[in-house]
Amino acid sequence: MSRARHLWRDYGLSITLAAAYSDEQTVNSRYGYVKLGYQTDIFDLGTTAFSIDGYFGKDVAAGGSDSTAFGALFAEDASLVFSNAPTVTGRPAIQTFLGALYGPVDVTGFRVTQEDLKISGTMAAQTGTFTESFIEQNREKTEFGRFALIVERGEDGPWRIWRLVAVQDSLSQ
């Protein structure tokens, strides 16, 4: 994995780059990430930051992936609601559920389109649509759906998923 970050303080501009590649025989995963940012003092409360993020990845969320690592994005008391599945509560249960859900499939593409975002204090809510392409039992499939995500900033600083609801609208086979 490689990453770099630089902030040009005189101009308030920043760039973050990250990339990784795995040449393991079982999973040939890779990803890239770029973030361009601008910081300025608009309000007396502190610095205001704007950014544009871009991400691509292949075989990152499945195909031998680590559901424990993905599950770490969830708060200890988080809840996860997926179509046609019971509500899963608690980080360990979510990690187990995600491992069982994505274990038998090879995710080949995942795209999220944000429709709405609201941040208030230590809580943020996001809604949107998703498209997930995957291979299951040697058949290519694409799932389309909608999601609602609520994240909470913990006392230790990082934002963690508190509630995630994902609803499948259609599945092409």
Chunked mean pLDDT (size 10), the chain, 173 residues: 77 81 55 80 80 65 54 87 93 86 75 87 91 85 92 83 92 74
Same-domain status, 51 and 66: no
CATH of the domain at 65: 3.10.450.50
Same-domain status, 130 and 65: yes
CA atoms within 13 A on the CB side of 164: 21
pLDDT number for residue 87: 96
DSSP for 47-84, please give it: EEEEEEEEEEEESSSSSS--HHHHHTTEEEEEEEEETT
- SS3 label, residue 98: helix
Same-domain status, 112 and 142: yes
| Rounded-to-integer distance, Cα 31 and Cα 21, Å | 7
Q: Please choose, from the candidates 72, 62, 78, 79, the residue with its C-alpha nearest in 3D space to the C-alpha of residue 95.
A: 72
Number of domains in the chain: 2
Cα dihedral 74, 79, 82, 88 sign: positive
**Stretch (H or E) spanning 96:** helix 91-102
Q: What are the residues whose beta carbons fall under 8 Å from the beta carbon of 88, sequence distance 6 or more?
A: 79, 80, 81, 82, 94, 97
Same-domain status, 163 and 85: yes
Same-domain status, 23 and 66: no
Of 57, 79, 101, the one marking the end of a domain is 57
| Rounded-to-integer distance, Cα 159 and Cα 119, Å | 12
Same-domain status, 26 and 79: no
Same-domain status, 7 and 23: yes
Same-domain status, 26 and 99: no
pLDDT number for residue 25: 46
DSSP code of 104? T
Of 39, 57, 75, the one marking the end of a domain is 57
pLDDT number for residue 47: 80
Same-domain status, 19 and 87: no
Report pTM: 0.61
The token pair that represents 72 in the structure block: 């770490």
Same-domain status, 107 and 173: yes
pLDDT number for residue 73: 82
Same-domain status, 5 and 80: no
For residue 21, the enclosing domain spans: 1-57
Same-domain status, 51 and 136: no
- SS3 label, residue 121: coil
